[in-house]
Amino acid sequence: MLDQFILAGASEGLALGNLLFVLVAFLLLMLLLKKFAWGPVTKMMDDRAQKVANDLDTAQTQREQAEQLATARKEQLAAARQQANQIVSDAKDAGKKQGAQLIADAQADSKALKERTAAQIEQDRNEAMTLVKNDVADLSVTIAQKIIQKELNLSDQKALIDAYIDGLGESK
Amino acid sequence: MGEKTASFSIAGLTFDWPVIISVTITMAIVFFVLYWMAHKLTMKPKGKQNALEMIIDFTNGIVETSLPNQIGNNLKFYAFTLFMFIFMANQIGLILHISVDGVTFLKSPTADPLIALTLALISIGISHYLSVSQLGFKKYVKTVFLSPYPALLPINLIDQFTSYMTLGLRLFGNIFAGETVLALLWQFAKAAGLLSLVPGMLMTIVWIAFSLFIGAIQAYVFVTLTMVYTSEKLEV
């Protein structure tokens, strides 16, 4: 091989055809690779780098937005909670007040009812007493009549009537 | 060794069939492998695309170590092509070696001194061209041949010539030696029948593994040195 090199260098003026062929072939290979392998791949790599950079920027912006939103939401939440607390305490107060009102009403009602009942009872008792009194009077009169009818004779009766008439004249 | 060759002439230029066939097949393999790898690219790389991008990042890394600037960016594609071609050229002779009537038609193209030196010529040529175009001819002469002192001109001339020769011959020597040892191992393997075939095969396996490694290293060294030679010519 080395002989060939030296020999070629000496006698054949180097195998310049080989040199030329390699040069041309290498240029051709570069052209083809540029078009079919290097070009597309490096373009894809650049695109990817670009996309990653864009994505990072977008992510940054979106994170800021998200943080803003989160802050706003937090504030809203706090406001809502306060409002809810307010509503609950209001409702509690109203409930308490209403309850007290109800109890007072009930107490008043029951008191009135008690009084009315007591008055009714009193009245009923009086009526009953009156009724009983009348009955007793009737009964005693009847009993008295029965006793009197049995024991009173005509003469006695006459004397009694006279006494009564006398009484009438006196009482006038 | 006085190897036989089959050649033809066009317009006074001598062409060797082995060189033409080897170079063509090597380049075809490089092209089709890379074409296949760059086929159906996606934003999220996977499999072969990942491998291709890894190779590209690797050669880009070589360039950026010496030339971290716009000139380096322009050289990245050259470095990539050079690396792929030399790598494949170094390996193909280990995988396939075709001889007909004592003429080797398929071997490592880089095992031919002329091809290795042609590649070196392209690399060195590019480095000189870039130096002239970047610095202007006056500064180029001053930087490359008259520094640090004009008195060192002869040494600088020798330096430039030897850097070209060593760049090519280092590659040629490594690959040629690898193939020569393979040929010797083959002669050893068929020397005494089965007795030498088995150890011969074992040694061949080991040697091919080593040669694959050497081939990769030489491709890396060639590209690295190309970039170093280019960058040292650009230093004002």
For the ranges A33-47, A156-170, B219-233, the lowest mean pLDDT is seen at A156-170
Q: Mean pLDDT across the stretch A125-154? A: 83
Q: What are the phi and psi torsion angles at B101 (to 5°)? A: 55, 45
Coil/strand/helix, residue B7: strand
Write the pLDDT tens digit of every residue in B186-216.
888 888 878 888 888 898 899 999 999 999 9
For residue A11, the model assigns a pLDDT of 38
Per-residue tokens: B18: 């082995």
Say which range, A154-163, B112-121, B151-160, has the weakest mean pLDDT: A154-163
Residue where the block lists tokens 């880009």: B60
Amino acid letter, residue A87:
I
Q: Do B85 and A26 touch (CB under 8 A)?
A: yes
Contact B41 A28 (CB under 8 A): no
Query: Do the chains contact at B31 and A48, CB–CB below 8 Å?
Result: no
Pick A123 or B233 by higher pLDDT: A123
- Give the pLDDT of residue B4: 61
Residues on chain B touching A47 (C-beta within 8 angstroms): 43
% of residues, chain B, pLDDT over 70:
95
B91 token code pair: 């390996």
Cβ-based burial of B46 (10 A; exposed 0-12, middle 13-18, buried ≥19): exposed
B78 Cβ contact partners less than 8 Å away, ≥ 6 residues apart: A30, B126
Q: Name B14's bridge partners.
A: B9
Q: Is A37 near chain B, with CB under 8 Å?
A: yes
- pLDDT tens for A102-137 read 999 999 999 999 999 999 999 999 999 999 888 888
Residue that wins the pLDDT comparison between A36 and A82: A82
- B102–A contact, CB cutoff 8 A: no
Residue B5, φ and ψ in degrees, nearest 5: -145, 155
- Give the torsion through C-alpha atoms of B77, B82, B88, B90, to 10 deg: -160
Q: Which two tokens mark A145?
A: 């009549």
Question: Does A8 have pLDDT greater than 50?
Answer: no
If DSSP codes are grouped into helix, strand and coil, which group holds residue B105?
A: strand
Beta carbons within 10 angstroms of residue B227's beta carbon: 25
Instruction: Tell me whether residues B27 and A29 touch, CB distance under 8 A.
Output: yes
pLDDT at B138 over 80: yes
What is the CB neighbour count within 10 angstroms for residue B81? Answer: 25
Rounded Cα distance, B136 and B144, in Å:
12
Amino acid at position B64, single letter: E
User: Nearest CA of chain B to the CA of A68: how many Å?
Assistant: 32
- Among residues B183, B190, B185, B127, the alpha carbon closest in space to that of B159 is found at B127
Alpha helices in chain B (DSSP H): 17-37, 48-66, 70-95, 113-135, 137-145, 153-189, 194-234
